[in-house]
Each structure stands twice: as structure tokens, then as C-alpha cells.
């Protein structure tokens, strides 16, 4: 089996490679078909997915069985300032990969986001709820979802949120850095979502990819919390003595509105029997154990 991973230097692309190398994650072993898989892992320095001709040529040369698209323009404020640039990656780039996947008979596993919704919900968003993005980032990601599903007949779109892991910058690492040098940090308490550990997401991506159950899936950590509650749990596990002070979004304004509610329901994942996403507290424990073992 030959696999293509785009965005390989990002935290999710990196994690996919780790899980494939081990043949398992905490939440389960990988399907046997992945044993001995040839992995072609690329980033923008090797493959610029905004270049259609280059993307088609590269994929036709590699002829992967599955393309895992972890490439994305994720800087939310920068997207707001230059939506056209972001859309070339998050929209056009996905279309190019979908065209290439369709041309060689590959499956496409594309990663999307909670930002495709307006963030005003009060109960977990369903996979079939209408998208209504309130930001440029969200609009470009909707474009990518539509491209994947309309162009490639073997597409999986996985929406996730609040992602963290050892392989890149994220909220957990930021809190640990701040907590090591400060007595207190101030974190918003009125934005609610589900922290998602990259290892659990990577396993789910790989488990879904060997099925033919194409479509949209929500893949986030189990349960929900506010950013303030998440930060408090991080500081408690780090035992660094740093306390977390809550504030409102209005007290901590940003250039781009952040979703007040980002909880995603796992109905589609449950329907195919692959919802092994751990409660976010349990996954955070696993992250700390893993990173402490490496120190």
C-alpha cells in the first residue's frame, strides 16, 4: 500500500507518520493492510498543492492508494486579512488533490474544521447541519469540503477542533510555556469546544480510510470544556503553580471572531463503529505521559 501525506511537517501530518511507524495508537492497532506501507510524506517545499498541474503530475507519479490531506492555511487572523491567499490552499488546493485522487483511483481523506459553522449553537453540531461560516477561514474550509466531496467520489471529510499534539505549536504548549514563567494567565471562559489529541485523530483517519464509508465525519475529543477549563487542567497536570483567571471574549478581543460553541456530534463516526475518541481529560493525560517519557 502506498500512502501520500500532505502537510507532513504540521502537527497532524507528523502524527500520522508516527502512528503508521508504530502500527498502532493508544486507542487501537492499525488495520493489517497498513503493515509495510510505503509512505510519501510531503510539505509545501516538495509539493505546492495550489499548483494544479504540479499536483496532478506528482500524484500520477506516486499513484497512492490514499491521500491524507493535512495541508492547510490555518492562521485564522491572516485568513481574514487575505482570504484569497488562504482560499488557494484551503479551497483550490483541495480541489487539485481531489482531481488527482479521482484520476488515479485513490481515496482522499481531507481534514476540515468546526469553523465551517457559525459557532452560535447550543447543542453538538451534526454532520448534516448546514454550514454557515462567520470567518474567512471558515469560508475557505467550506470551499475545500465542497471540492473534496464533489470532485472525488472516494472522499472522507473529517471536521476537527482544538487540536494539540507533540508535533507542532498548539494551545497546550503555549499554556505550558506561559505557566513556566508566570504566576497567572488569563484565558477566555465563554468559548466552548472539545480538545482533540492528534494521536486519536490520526488513528481514526487511518481506520476510516480502509472503509468505503465515504462522507463527512466529526472527529473531536469526547466531552466539552471552555478554553479556561482546558487551561486549568493543563496547569494542574503540569503542577507548575500557575493559576488561570477567567475572562470573557469581550475582554480579550481578537481580529477574527472565535466560535462561542464548537462542540461536534459524532453521529457518523458512531454509525460506522469507529468512535474511539477518548474523553478530552483522558487524552490529555496520555499526551502528558507521552511527552514526559521523552524528556
Are 264 and 123 contacting, i.e. CB atoms less than 8 angstroms apart? Answer: no
Catalytic residue among 34, 73, 137, 287: 137
> What SS3 string covers the chain?
CEEEEECCCCHHHHHHHHHHHHCEECCEECCHHHCCCEEEEECCCCCCCCCHHHHHHHHHHHCCCEEEECCCCCCHHHHHHCHHHHHHHHHHHHHHHHHHHHHHCCEEEEEEEHHHCCCCCCCCECCCCCCCCCCHHHHHHHHHHHHHHHHCCCEEEEEECCEECCCCCCHHHHHHHHHCCCCEEEEECCCEECCEEHHHHHHHHHHHHCCCCCEEEECCCECCEEHHHHHHHHHHHHCCCCEEEEECHHHCCCCCCCCCECCECCHHHHHCCCCCCCEHHHHHHHHHHHHHHCC
**Alpha carbon 160 to chain centroid, angstroms:** 5
Residue 111 burial (10 A CB sphere; 0-12, 13-18, 19+): buried
Residue 125 known to be catalytic: no
User: How far apart, in whole angstroms, are the C-alpha atoms of residue 144 and residue 128?
Assistant: 16
Closest CA to 6 of 139, 105, 96, 84: 96
Question: Which residues are marked as active site?
Answer: 137
Amino acid at each position: 500500500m502506498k500512502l501520500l501525506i500532505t502537510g507532513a511537517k504540521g502537527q497532524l501530518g507528523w502524527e500520522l507518520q508516527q502512528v503508521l511507524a508504530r502500527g498502532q495508537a493508544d486507542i487501537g492497532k492499525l488495520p493489517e493492510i497498513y503493515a509495510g506501507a510505503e509512505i510519501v510524506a510531503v510539505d509545501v517545499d516538495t509539493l505546492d498543492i495550489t499548483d494544479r498541474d504540479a499536483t496532478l503530475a506528482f500524484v500520477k507519479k506516486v499513484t497512492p492508494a490514499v491521500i491524507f490531506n493535512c495541508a492547510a492555511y490555518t492562521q485564522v487572523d491572516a485568513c481574514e486579512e487575505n482570504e484569497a491567499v488562504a482560499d488557494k490552499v484551503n479551497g483550490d488546493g483541495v480541489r487539485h488533490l481531489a482531481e488527482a485522487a479521482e484520476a488515479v483511483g485513490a481515496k482522499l481523506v481531507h481534514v476540515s474544521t468546526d469553523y465551517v459553522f457559525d459557532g452560535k449553537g447550543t447543542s453538538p453540531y451534526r454532520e448534516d447541519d448546514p454550514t454557515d461560516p462567520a470567518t474567512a477561514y471558515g469560508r475557505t474550509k467550506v470551499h475545500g469540503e465542497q471540492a473534496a466531496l464533489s470532485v472525488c467520489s472516494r472522499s472522507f471529510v473529517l471536521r476537527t477542533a482544538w487540536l494539540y499534539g507533540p508535533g507542532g505549536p498548539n494551545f497546550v504548549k503555549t499554556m505550558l510555556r506561559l505557566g513556566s514563567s508566570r504566576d497567572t494567565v488569563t484565558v477566555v471562559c465563554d468559548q466552548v469546544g472539545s480538545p482533540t489529541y492528534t494521536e486519536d485523530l490520526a488513528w481514526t483517519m487511518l481506520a476510516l480510510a480502509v472503509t468505503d464509508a465515504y462522507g463527512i465525519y466529526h472527529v473531536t475529543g469526547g466531552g466539552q470544556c471552555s478554553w479556561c477549563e482546558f487551561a486549568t487542567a493543563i496547569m494542574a497536570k503540569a503542577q507548575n503553580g500557575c493559576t488561570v483567571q477567567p475572562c470573557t471574549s469581550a475582554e480579550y478581543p481578537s481580529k477574527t471572531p472565535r466560535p462561542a460553541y464548537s462542540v461536534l456530534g459524532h453521529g457518523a463516526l458512531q454509525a460506522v463503529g469507529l468512535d474511539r475518541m477518548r474523553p478530552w481529560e483522558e487524552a490529555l493525560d496520555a499526551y502528558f505521559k507521552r511527552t514526559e517519557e521523552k524528556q
